[in-house]
Amino acid sequence: MILFSKMQGTGNDFVVINCLNQYFNYNLGNFANFLCNRNFGVGADGVIYLFKSNVADFKMRIFNSDGSEAEMCGNGIRVLGKFLYEKSITTKTYLKIETGAGIKEINLIVENKTVVNVKVNMGMPHFEAGRIPVYLPKEESGKEYHTILIDFEEKEYHFDLISMGNPHAVCFVEDVNAVDVEKIGAFVEHYKYFPNRTNVEFVQVMDRNNLRVKVWERGVGKTISCGTGACASSVCAIKKKLVNSTVTVQLDGGRLHIHYDEETGVELAGGAEFCFEGRIDL
């Protein structure tokens, strides 16, 4: 029997499994693929497994709905912070979490013993081709900030390339509602330039303080929210001087708040919620 919690952050939903005190001897990717199935499983964008860590307070491993492991998940780590505090696994409101993209620091904003907001220090974005990673045409290989052109159905799309611990391709458009996110996103995710595939964001600048973003998430598909996607979109917009250094990102599932400083990195803030608890008899 496996106990789990179903949680969501701006509609990005996860199954959270505490592996600290229950024996777990299953293939993590295959089990995540089963759990995330919305017809025959619990249904989720991904599964978060909580483990002990030798270098931080806790360790998080995150698997996408297709069973692939992601290096990092901004909404997932916020959800985990709420889980840790409200399940009384910790009394700390400042935590270090080991992830596949390094150790991330989170601050829990607590009111009446309830976590109402979670702030995550996402670290520094990376633009180097090898850090994203991306294979580049020769004319792009020497640049500091990379933009590639991808042709899809006789139309050109310009993508800014960035890593937030995982790869992202960010496309600025006039109207995100006019973009066929599923068709273009699936094509770009598997494009020949990305050895590990990529997340894909379509971004509309609303004003100096607000972005509208739609996301095609690697290993998941079209999703209504993505924390690292919101960060990637914001950093690219800030680098292009299209918005201020603090921005609100409106995703289909809700709002996230991003601040980027070239010295201290990216801060992601937003809420998280429990949906329900359950158990799986295997």
- Host H or E run for residue 28: helix 28-36
Which residues, 6 or more positions from 135, have their beta carbon under 8 angstroms from its beta carbon? 129, 192, 193, 194, 195
Residues identified as active-site: 73, 226
- Quote the Cα angle for 255-101-185, to 5°: 55
Long-range contacts of 83-91 (CB under 8 A, 24+ apart): 83/5, 83/7, 83/16, 83/18, 83/50, 84/50, 84/58, 85/110, 85/115, 86/113, 86/114, 86/115, 86/274, 87/5, 87/18, 89/18, 89/20, 89/50, 89/58, 90/57, 90/58
